Amino acid sequence: MSYALRRLPLPVPNRRDLVALPLVLALFFIVSHAGREMSVPYQLGQSIPISLSPWALPADGLFTVLRMLAALALSLVFTLVYAWLAAHNRYAGRVLVPVLDVLQSVPILGYLSITVTGFMALFPGSLVGVQLAVIFAVFTSQAWNMTFSLYQSLQTVPRDLQEAATLYRLNAWQRFWKLELPFAMPGLLWNTMMSMSGGWFFVVAAEAITVSGHEVKVPGIGSYIAQAIASRDLAAIGLAIGAMMVIILLYDNLLFRPIVAWADKFKLEMTASSDAPRSAVLDFLRRTRMLRQLVAVPQALWNLSVRLGPRAQPRAAAPERAWRRGDAVFFGAVLVFAVWALLRLARLLPQDFGWPLVAHVMWLGLITGLKVFVLVGLAALIWVPVGVWVGLRPRLAAAVQPLAQFLAAFPANLLFPLVVVAIVHWHLDVDVWTAPLMILGSMWYVLFSVVGAASSIPNDMREAAHNLGLRGWLLWKRLYLPGVFPGFVTGAITASGGAWNASIVAEVVSWGHRDLVATGLGAFISQATAEGRGADIALGVGVMSLYVIVVNRLVWHRLYQLAARRVHLD
């Protein structure tokens, strides 16, 4: 038993424990009850009634939040493992980073019916399979952004901190938990909040889907909104949006705001800021006695596991010839796999599948890519200054935080009817005025990433810039832009991927019997999906993935390398 554990006093509850402990027990009871309700017997084709009563919203909101939190926990585990491998193994990084580029742009909802069937086969006769499929869909909307954020932070750890870790001979496990993850914590936290908000769009789409000709709905805010849209009940839609706002305020105050205040200690600065973020919930928990002692036991065990372990031994760098041989073997294996995959794909294509169609789809991809490039550029011009202004003011960030989460969580498809009516009424250009729908749900990635990067700028650097008389553009050029540049790259790469993904629903909008189709790759994939043209779907998704990989490798990842080499605070 460690010395830290032996010194723990016997937990004696105080007045705050008498409030906190019953609330914790009530929370466990509510979660367990909701878990039982989410695993009721179910058969494909069975109809689950969705009530539009306002009294059904609390239970529906609880079900949705539990699914989103389960997906968030899974995303966090995925992020820690995937980003660490991609950042620390040169061969793994050359595979994992391009794969991540594809995963965050491929329209996963198009394959949701397949995952539902697979999960239902694992849990026959139970609603658990459908619940897991919904959680998987939300996971696909959360994990990529968080992974890119952590990967970017691992690539830009200041050199002096790396040298200090080497001098203390920290092994890989200790280096990650004592240096790399604390350094990445501010940016990762804000991107986690963005991922939680971005998951709302997928929840709305995934809680009510069609599988094998059968409509499958699970109780939740998403299925409530889907039922309200089908019934054209505007009052129910308004109630659902109000419930979303209440839920976001609750988990912001009970979860994210305490974590933001706790993570402020990881900022790299010599002087403490007088404007540090505060949380009434965190202050209350810190003043409890019994609850703190109960938490201290696993915390002490975890600290012990990090503290133990062999010291890292200095290793000589591998000879350049050995690196070249390894690179040749690696790229040879990748080339063989690519040729094999192309041959397999060619066998699956129909006989009448010709190059003119491929050229047409490539042209449509260029049109959609131009839209994405312009939209991400406009989002950067607007949200980078706003993100810096908010991130440098913790109290303002705390006030803006729930509003930004609500705006990021607002399902953009609820605006489609308004867009259709406006375009038809004023005879507007469909290609121009449907384009903003592609960025409505993903432009917030830029804002959240920049806010996280700006909030991690050390306070002593800001004071030094003030003492040196830096003002205006010179202050931005020397401090703010280098400080937020890595975070901006993370936000831009995830925003562009989200815009590519959103083009599938944004380039084909409808309301009632009125359908508007824009020119682009997203509209091609959407129409091919509606008509069941499997080869065209595969071609469209393949071309989209190709464009995303090329743009990311030629633009965004070069900016990553620039941030790692030159444009960051050391």
Parallel, antiparallel or unpaired: strands 514-517 and 508-511? antiparallel
Asked if residue 60 is part of any domain, the answer here is yes
Judgement on whether residues 341 and 448 belong to the same structural domain of the protein: no
Which pLDDT belongs to residue 416? Answer: 67
Angle ∠(104,106,109) on CA atoms, nearest 5: 105
Written as one letter, the residue type at 172 is A
As a whole number of angstroms, the distance between CA 218 and CA 47 comes to: 10
Q: What pLDDT shows up at residue 1?
A: 46
Please indicate, yes or no, whether residues 173 and 126 belong to a single structural domain of this protein.
yes
- Give which of 395, 441, 394, 397 is closest to 415, Cα–Cα: 441
Do 435 and 305 reside in the same domain of the chain? no
DSSP code at position 456: T
The DSSP letter of residue 318 is P
| Same domain, residue pair 294 and 391 | no
* CB 39 within 8 Å of CB 127: yes
Contact (CB, 8 A) for 105 and 501: yes
* 305 shares its domain with 334: no
Number of domains in the chain: 3
Closest to 185 (Cα-Cα) out of 456, 458, 568, 448? 456
- Phi and psi at residue 41, in whole multiples of 5°? -60, 145
Q: Is residue 141 assigned to a domain?
A: yes
- Please indicate, yes or no, whether residues 440 and 565 belong to a single structural domain of this protein: yes
Residue 113 lies in a domain: yes
For residue 331, being part of any structural domain is answered with yes
110 CB burial (10 A radius; 0-12, 13-18, 19+): middle
**Cα atoms in the 13 Å half-sphere on the side-chain side of 240:** 29
Q: Name the residue with tokens 């705001």.
A: 257
Distance between CA atoms of residues 450 and 491, nearest Å? 7
What is the DSSP-derived secondary structure letter of residue 317? P
Do 386 and 431 lie in a common domain? Answer: yes
Rounded Cα–Cα distance for residues 473 and 37 (Å): 57
* Cβ neighbourhood burial of 431 (10 Å; 0-12, 13-18, 19+): middle
198 and 109 belong to one structural domain: yes
The pLDDT assigned to 466 comes to 82
Cβ neighbours for 130, distance < 8 A, ≥ 6 positions apart: 42, 116, 119, 120, 216, 218
Contact 203, 221 (CB under 8 A): yes
**Phi, psi for 287 (deg, rounded to 5):** -90, -5
Assess if residue 2 is contained within a domain: no
Of the chain, the end-to-end C-alpha distance in Å amounts to: 40
510 DSSP β-pair partners:
515
- The candidate with the shortest Cα–Cα distance to 151, out of 191, 178, 198, is 191
DSSP state of 253: I
The CATH code of the domain that includes 459 is 1.10.3720.10
> Which amino acid is residue 140, in one-letter code?
T
Mark the ranges of the chain whose per-residue pLDDT is less than 70: 1-12, 44-46, 105-114, 204-205, 209-214, 267-276, 302-331, 334-335, 337-338, 341-354, 411-414, 416-417, 510-513, 530, 532, 534, 564-570
Cβ-defined contacts of 100-103 (< 8 Å, 24+): 100/144, 100/147, 100/148, 100/151, 101/493, 101/497, 101/548, 101/549, 101/552, 101/553, 102/545, 102/548, 102/549, 103/140, 103/144
380 shares a domain with 281: no
- Is residue 6 in a domain? no
Strand residue runs (E) in 82-212: 208-211
Q: Say how far apart CA 510 and CA 526 lie, in whole Å.
A: 12
Model pTM score:
0.81
Shared-domain flag, residues 371 and 305? no
The verdict on residue 317 lying in a domain is no
Looking at residue 567, the DSSP 8-state letter turns out to be: S
The token pair that represents 166 in the structure block: 């080497």
- Residue 554 domain flag: yes
Query: Among 283, 311, 339, where does a domain finish?
Result: 311
Which domain, by its residues, includes 331? 322-351
pLDDT, tens only, 324-357: 666 666 667 766 766 776 666 666 565 555 678 8
Q: Are residues 53 and 70 in the same domain?
A: yes
Q: What is the pLDDT of residues 369-400, one digit of tens each?
A: 999 999 999 999 999 999 999 988 877 887 78
Q: Which of 423, 480, 427 is nearest to 453 (CA)?
A: 480
Instruction: Report d(CA 414, CA 437) in Å as an integer.
Output: 11
What are 508's strand-pairing partners? 517
- Cβ atoms of 528 and 536 within 8 Å: the answer is yes
Residues 286 and 343 in one domain: no
Dihedral over Cα of 4, 9, 13, 15: its sign: negative
